[in-house]
């Protein structure tokens, strides 16, 4: 009989901790809704004590997402645990996830505590968490570099204290697959009460082995894997959800395991996370990279034309990707548009369908053909209903050339007040940004800016990504348009609005 592997998604917590991946509450909620549709077992919604904004995000997700378990991360500290519970207490299925480091290097140099002090703190933390919440997960941070005997002891005692899930992290991505599997095997053989709980792993990708270590561990009794969409996370990232799920799905014969994941939502969710974080998915990324189901070599093409299974071990439709190019235009009707969206994995209510169809018509008037990539980008814009921005773009005009000073005029609206200003710059984009700065009063550092084509052809949609810094904090804005100047303007203004929103939290 095949055993179920629970999928614990930490995109909104560990994934968002990677540099530059700053998401607001509504963006996190939209991702959480797609994770719910995907049927992940657990959504780790965030680290509530870390900031008022993160607390608000966790609380919002806990109050709106009903299917998966909603977990909140906290250190093994009383204040953290109480804050985590306050954020998730109204969730239908809440979980408190508390952790403390157990490796000698972390205990000595980071915590400055003895193993006995760490053990006492861990047990107390689990007991306190258990007094609030039945479902308590305990993580032994840096478990893969911990003394095995101490690890066995602290796991045994935290289970006795009430832990329902024990997580074994390879926090710095140090372990090798055989070595990590040996650690799991040792825990199963030496912790007498380990069968009373769910056993979990959380692997990082510093040596490119996060997925391999996670999959290897399930051979020895692990029944929960912690992972992220697109493998995002601190440093080199986490185990990739789509790779874990599709490996188990494709090689049922080998693993003899299964998940409850609806794989048709993998591709749309991957694209949504990429768009909202600003992190481009590499073309050769397994499962969700744009080349994952592309074939150029003549021999490959000949095989595919005869039978796709000659070179494809998975059907693209399984992950929610169309096998053929999707081509729509301005003469396409609502039914065709809706049908294509459903094939891409989007299930919209009538209001969102009407809104997206209007945006599709506007886009179709600008482009000769609308492709699958265009629709995914359009959906990312339509589905994310941000908290109302302080400033809204109404108009911009640029005068530029190789013999004149670039000048931009920008019109913004703030609470029904129309504000117009102009500025010069080293180029048209610089002039636009300077004009926005004059209107908003922003004094920020532009740390990154780039434009990429989302689709093909001379009339391709362009996506601009802007990163600004203010008082040590980074804010990312994204904008899409067939006009690169408009995309750049929208992206910069989005980043400014995010900064202003975060500053309003600080002022509370």
Residue 31: predicted pLDDT: 96
Do 92 and 133 touch, CB atoms closer than 8 A? no
Question: What residues form DSSP beta bridges with 397?
Answer: 409
How far apart are the C-alpha atoms of 75 and 100, rounded to whole Å?
6
- Mean pLDDT of the region 382-398: 78
Look at residues 190, 111, 180, 209 and name the one whose alpha carbon lies nearest to residue 150: 190
* Angstrom distance (rounded) from CA 32 to CA 260: 16
| Mean residue pLDDT across the chain | 89
HSE toward the beta carbon, residue 157, CA cutoff 13 A: 16
Decide: 2 and 258 in contact? Cβ < 8 Å: yes
**pLDDT digits 0-9 by tens, 45-75:** 999 999 999 999 999 999 999 999 999 999 9
Q: How confident is the model at residue 106 (pLDDT cuts 50, 70, 90)?
A: very high
Q: What is the pLDDT of residue 163?
A: 98
Instruction: Let me know: does 463 contact 454? Beta carbons within 8 Å.
Output: yes
Q: Which of 308-322, 353-367, 416-430 has the highest mean pLDDT?
A: 416-430
pLDDT tens across 268-282, in order?
999 999 989 988 898
pLDDT, tens digit, for every residue of 370-382? 776 677 767 766 6
Counting every residue written for the chain, the total comes to 508
Q: Calculate ∠ Cα 85-87-93, nearest 5°.
A: 70
Token duo for residue 287: 């499962």
Q: Name the H helices within 278-330.
A: 298-306
Burial of 31 (0-12, 13-18, 19+ CB in 10 A): buried
CB atoms within 10 A of CB 378: 22
Helix locations, 174-317, DSSP H: 177-190, 210-217, 241-250, 252-255, 266-277, 298-306
Tokens at 94, concatenated = 């809440």
Cβ partners under 8 Å of residue 132, min gap 6: 81, 82, 85, 89, 96
Distance CA 364, CA 478 (A): 21
306 pLDDT band (50/70/90 cuts)?
low
Task: Say what the alpha-carbon torsion angle 245, 247, 248, 253 is, to the nearest 10 degrees.
Answer: 160
Range in 15-29, 171-185, 311-325, 447-461 with the lowest mean pLDDT: 311-325
Spatial neighbors of 283 by CB under 8 A, at least 6 apart, are 289, 290, 291
pLDDT of 455 > 80? The answer is no
Considering just the CA atoms, what is the radius of gyration of the chain in Å?
24
Q: Residue 479 in 3-state DSSP?
A: strand
- Taking the CB of residue 351, how many other CB atoms lie within 10 A of it? 8
For 67, the 3-state DSSP assignment is coil
Confidence of residue 304 (pLDDT cuts 50, 70, 90): very low
Alpha helix ranges (H) inside 148-251: 148-161, 177-190, 210-217, 241-250
Residue labelled with tokens 């997700």: 61
Q: How far is CA 436 from CA 312, 426, 429, 440, 467, in A?
A: 49, 15, 11, 6, 15
Residue 385 confidence class, pLDDT cut points 50, 70, 90: low
In the chain, the percentage of residues whose pLDDT exceeds 90 is 65
DSSP character at residue 143: G
With CA atoms as reference, report the closest residue to 277 among 489, 20, 25.
Answer: 20
pLDDT at 91 over 70: yes
- For residue 386, the surrounding DSSP H or E stretch is none
Distances (CA, A) of 167 to 91, 100, 465: 22, 11, 36
Tell me what the mean pLDDT of segment 427-449 comes to: 94
């Amino acid at each position: 009989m095949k055993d179920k592997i629970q999928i614990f998604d930490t995109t909104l917590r560990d994934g968002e901790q990677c540099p530059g991946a700053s998401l607001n509450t509504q963006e996190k909620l939209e991702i959480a809704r797609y994770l719910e549709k995907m049927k992940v077992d657990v959504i780790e919604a965030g680290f509530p004590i870390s900031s008022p904004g993160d607390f608000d995000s966790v609380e919002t997700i806990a109050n709106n997402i009903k299917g998966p378990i909603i977990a909140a991360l906290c250190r093994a500290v009383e204040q953290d645990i109480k804050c985590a519970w306050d954020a998730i207490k109204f969730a239908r299925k809440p979980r408190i996830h508390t952790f403390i480091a157990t490796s000698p290097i972390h205990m000595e140099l980071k915590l400055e505590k003895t193993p006995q002090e760490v053990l006492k703190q861990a047990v107390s933390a689990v007991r306190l968490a258990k007094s609030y919440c039945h479902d308590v997960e305990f993580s032994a941070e840096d478990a893969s570099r911990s003394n095995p005997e101490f690890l066995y002891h602290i796991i045994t005692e935290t289970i006795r204290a009430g832990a329902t899930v024990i997580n074994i992290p390879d926090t710095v991505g140090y372990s090798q697959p055989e070595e990590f599997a040996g650690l799991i095997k040792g825990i199963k053989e030496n912790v007498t009460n380990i069968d009373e709980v769910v056993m979990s792993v959380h692997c990082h990708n510093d040596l490119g082995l996060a997925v391999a270590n996670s999959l290897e561990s399930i051979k020895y009794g692990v029944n929960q894997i912690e992972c992220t969409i697109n493998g995002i996370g601190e440093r080199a990232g986490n185990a990739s959800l789509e790779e874990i799920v599709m490996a188990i799905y494709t090689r049922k014969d080998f693993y003899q395991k299964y998940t409850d994941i609806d794989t048709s939502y993998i591709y749309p969710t991957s694209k949504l996370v990429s768009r909202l974080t600003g992190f481009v998915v590499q073309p050769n990324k397994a499962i969700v990279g744009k080349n994952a189901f592309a074939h150029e070599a003549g021999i490959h093409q000949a095989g595919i034309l005869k039978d796709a299974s000659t070179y494809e071990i998975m059907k693209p439709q399984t992950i929610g990707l169309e096998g053929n190019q999707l081509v729509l235009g301005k003469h396409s009707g609502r039914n065709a548009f809706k049908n294509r969206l459903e094939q891409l994995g989007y299930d919209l209510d009538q209001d969102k369908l009407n809104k997206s169809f209007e945006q599709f018509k506007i886009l179709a008037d600008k482009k000769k053909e609308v492709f699958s990539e265009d629709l995914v980008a359009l959906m990312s814009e339509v589905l994310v209903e941000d908290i109302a921005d302080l400033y809204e773009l109404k108009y911009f005009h640029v005068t530029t050339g190789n013999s004149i000073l670039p000048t931009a005029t920008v019109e913004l609206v703030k609470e029904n007040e129309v504000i117009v200003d102009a500025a010069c710059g080293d180029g048209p984009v610089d002039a636009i940004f300077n004009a926005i700065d004059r209107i908003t009063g922003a004094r920020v550092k532009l740390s990154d800016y780039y434009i990429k084509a989302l689709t093909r052809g001379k009339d391709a949609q362009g996506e601009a990504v802007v990163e600004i810094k203010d008082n040590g904090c980074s804010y990312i804005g994204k904008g899409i348009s067939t006009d690169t100047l408009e995309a750049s303007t929208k992206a910069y203004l989005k980043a400014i609005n995010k900064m202003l929103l975060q500053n309003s939290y600080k002022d509370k």
